[in-house]
Structure 1
């Protein structure tokens, strides 16, 4: 669930309340009249299902609240009520740990991979050629057949997949937990290095998908078995 706060000019408050009442993904709707100081107006609060966030925010922006007032969203760690359970169950689609639409997220991730990795490889190659031209580390540093410390860069195998899956799991846990963390020559080697990159990417994506699925199933099971008071 997400907690929504909308600062509304008095003339738009009734419409904002109608939008929230009409959406099945809304719970715990509250209106504070005349409490907003700057910009002046009313404050409307509600808890909304993540699946409903896009539609609700779009509707409120359609009332101009992003210009005449303000809209904020924050994640709720815990929401214990029948109303919240009904809102999550009735909201269309599936929840995610971000409000962004999946299609938009996929496009951005693809662009980051398609542009970021090749750019990083080009920069790295340029640095290597510059270092070799200046002879800072000597010619021996570029003789790969004698330097086995860098074999992991182009040797594709099970350890590569294991490392990639661990990186993907760590990255997805960091994202889904809302915590930041630090995550940790010879032209014939280029194709082998590209294979290593492909294995790493596949492992990261697979591990991230597995972690996200397990976390989502765990959250759903906890919500479904939560005892509520009968009073």
Structure 2
């Protein structure tokens, strides 16, 4: 369930109440007249099934409540109520499949911010991966993949393309390009230092690497895996199944490819530099394509479901009819 807390201008409260009452899956409606001070207005609260949340939030935005008042929505960890159980039963679809578009935009906006922390994580991940490719150590490669934060900007680009948010697209693209450029430049310097310390060598990089040689040899499977990872990652964001993101992170070779390109560049190995760069770009492109297609499919699916998410005003008993 989602818990909505609204600040509504007094002259719009009746409209908001009617909207909530007409939304299948909404319950626990509370109106506190004049309770809000900044901005001034009435406080309206309700709970709504997650699968009906997007329709209600969109309706509130059409009424301009996000401009004239305020809209706050939180996930409720536990709700013990027969009305809540009935609301979730009446709402069309399943909560795990629901997409809260505004929440997705806000989340990807935060995850795609070009910050010192973001660049630091990406640079550290790339350096760990550099150690992995030189040592041909799969454990280090997997660890580097898990540390890398690059899926945030990739999800931001996909979301921006579907939702037509040019600012989010430019912000995400900037984080992606600058982040990888800085991380790879720092990894080149890191490789030079490791070579001076006798820990890296051209012979290790160019030797037989059965565990990590794939990072500079892109093929059709690279794109297929990127597509599948993009679908899984997008679904994990829209359904709040964030645990799946770890699996997504360690299934694509973005960070290892960037690391291998940086180390190869430090040693002047043009073949591996170009091959790794192609692997990196192929994975990035595949994830974005998969993310866009997944979001478009979800958008179409829930547009049809949303048409079923309306009902007439509640009866005097306050009960809801069974969903068709």
TM range (shorter): 0.5 to 0.7
TM (norm. structure 1) is 0.66
Distance 1:121 1:198 in 2: 14
Distance 2:171 2:223 in 1: 24
Structure 2 CA distance for partners of 1:16 and 1:111, relative to 1, 3 Å: farther
The 5-angstrom pairing of residues 56-205 of structure 1 reads 56=63, 59-60=64-65, 62-63=67-68, 65=69, 71-74=71-74, 78=88, 80=90, 97-99=100-102, 100=105, 102=163, 103=165, 104-137=167-200, 140-142=203-205, 144-181=206-243, 182=246, 183-184=249-250, 185=264, 186-205=269-288
Structure 1 segments unaligned to the other structure (5+ residues): 85-94
Q: Is the CA contact (8 Å cut-off) linking 1:7 and 1:41 kept in structure 2?
A: yes
- Aligned to 1:135, the other structure's residue is in SS state coil
TM (norm. structure 2) is 0.49
Structure 2 CA distance for partners of 1:154 and 1:111, relative to 1, 3 Å: same
Structure 2 segments unaligned to the other structure (5+ residues): 77-86, 93-97, 106-159, 251-263, 310-320
- Aligned to 2:217, the other structure's residue is in SS state coil
Structure 2 CA distance for partners of 1:21 and 1:149, relative to 1, 3 Å: same
TM-fit CA distance, 1:34: 5.1
TM-fit CA distance, 1:199: 0.8
Two-structure CA RMSD over aligned residues (Å): 4.3
Distance 1:79 1:53 in 2: 23
Any idea what the Cα deviations from partners look like across 1:63-88, whole Å, max 9, x if unmatched? Answer: 4x46xxxx41246995847xx9xxxx
The alignment status of 1:33 with 2:36, answered yes or no, reads no
Q: What is the aligned length?
A: 206
- Aligned to 1:216, the other structure's residue is in SS state helix
TM-fit CA distance, 1:172: 0.6
Structure 2 CA distance for partners of 1:217 and 1:192, relative to 1, 3 Å: same
Q: Is the CA contact (8 Å cut-off) linking 2:222 and 2:283 kept in structure 1?
A: yes
